[in-house]
Amino acid sequence: MYHLVFSADENYIKYTSVLITSIISNTDKSKKFKGFDENSNIKDEKYFFHILSNFVSDKTREKLLNLQNTLNEIFPCEIIIHIKNDEDFENFPTSGAAHSLKLPYYRLRLSSIFDESIKKCLYLDSDMLCMCDIRELFSINLKDKIVGVVGDPGSKKSKIKFKENDKKKIFYFDENYFNSGLLLINLEEYKKHSIEQKCEELASKCYYIKAADQDLLNATIETRLRHKLDFAYNFNIITLFYTICKDEKKNRLNYTRTEFNEALKNPKILHYGEKPWKFLKSYFDYKGKNINDYWWDMANKTPIFNEELLKEKQDIKAYLLYASLGYELLKSVKRANFFKIHQLIKSTERDQFYIEQTSKINDDIFGLCCMLGESILHARKHKKDFFGVYLKALKMIYNFKKYHFRSRI
């Protein structure tokens, strides 16, 4: 039996259904678990998909039941809903990733939904897509490690600020900082080391925390008690924009360029930063395919929810503004046209005209343009000045040219 856990509110469940379908679709029915782990005693090959949520309507529950019944014809599975309440997480700060609701913290209390007979579970963020037989992960022997994790691709300058004995303290993260979008959890060790309690205790002292559960887990699980997984198992698609590896710069992605390139050529689980239900197009992979197309190909095959998803797809257009503004910013930076950058931030009058020019953007820079466009929209929202945007764009363009995967293979 394989236990997988997701967090999803009512609106996110349709996206979770795509991930669940991708797991079933990539399970090799001709292969038994013995083929992954010859020492395994697993006899019942069945997936249990646990969804942690704050509310699921009767209509959505019915859809999930129908999804379960349809997928069960392909491979044995069961979908189980666990309702949690934000009130149960009153000691956890409302900030950063948990600025509007406490759902990101729900995964910290996994041990409360499993009895003692369940030794291992896999947590996955709903904005992921499985590209492999997920049983590969369940075959990994964690031994005395608490969790199997994948390094986070971002900068390791984050920190937690908290008070202890009326003194302000700071917990700094290092190069071993991991992404909590995928957690292969040894439930016995998780309970043995009281991770739930440690997270809540630290959370109650925090006055600044950015990445919610991710920061808490990084602060409470010692590096020696983590099993480092291949980057392919949590292949964050932002790395297709550009990636700085540990052999190129300290405190960046904690994998070598060689290790990253291996994952790039054969990603096992995709982790979408630019959500496919918001961006129809973003980055292009090693094979030259729009990375978001993989998700929509699976959405089209997802039972019960596919009509709703494909209808939603027809209205996705906001990403065109990101790309078009970014394209204008890219041209302006190259020409050091500060007046144009100022106009991009201060005026929206020509936005529709820019959107109509989106087709001129080459695929190899489309992702770059999306990220540059985000800096314009951020500046508009927070009333930033043009020079800060210019400097940020310069750095972004420099890193893209130097560390984009096509320039590093």
| pLDDT tens across the length of the chain (409 residues) | 999 999 999 999 999 999 999 999 999 999 987 778 777 766 779 999 999 999 999 999 999 999 999 999 999 999 999 999 988 888 888 866 666 778 989 999 887 889 899 999 999 999 999 999 999 999 999 999 999 999 999 877 778 999 888 899 999 999 999 999 999 999 999 999 999 999 999 999 998 888 989 999 999 999 999 999 999 999 999 999 999 999 999 889 999 999 999 999 999 999 999 999 999 999 999 999 999 999 999 999 999 999 999 999 999 999 999 999 999 999 999 999 999 999 999 999 999 999 999 999 999 999 999 999 999 999 999 999 999 999 999 999 999 999 999 988 7
CA 6, CA 22: separation in Å to the nearest integer?
Answer: 14
CA 296, CA 21: separation in Å to the nearest integer?
Answer: 12
CA 350, CA 354: separation in Å to the nearest integer?
Answer: 6
CA 285, CA 283: separation in Å to the nearest integer?
Answer: 7
Q: What pLDDT does 9 receive?
A: 94
For 52-84, letters b (16+ CB in 10 Å) and e give: bbbebeeebeebbeebbeebeeebbbebebbeb
Q: What pLDDT does 250 receive?
A: 86
CA 336, CA 344: separation in Å to the nearest integer?
Answer: 14
Residue whose entry in the numeric block shows the structure tokens 């349809």: 70
Contact of 67 with 305, CB cutoff 8 Å: yes
Residue whose entry in the numeric block shows the structure tokens 């964050």: 236
CA 291, CA 283: separation in Å to the nearest integer?
Answer: 6
Tokens for 303, please give them.
């039972």
CA 12, CA 36: separation in Å to the nearest integer?
Answer: 32
CA-based torsion, 267, 273, 277, 278: positive or negative: negative
Q: What class, spelled out in words, does domain 2-313 have in CATH?
A: alpha beta
Q: In the chain, where are the structural domains located?
A: 2-313, 318-407
Q: What pLDDT does 93 receive?
A: 84
CA 178, CA 214: separation in Å to the nearest integer?
Answer: 8
Q: Name the pTM for this structure.
A: 0.96
DSSP 312: H
CA 81, CA 5: separation in Å to the nearest integer?
Answer: 10
Q: What pLDDT does 157 receive?
A: 77
Tokens for 296, please give them.
């929509």
Q: What pLDDT does 99 receive?
A: 64
Q: In sequence order, what are the residues at sequence separation of 6 or more whose Cβ sits closer than 8 angstroms to the Cβ of residue 207?
A: 93, 161, 162, 163, 168
147-151/226-228 β-pairing: parallel
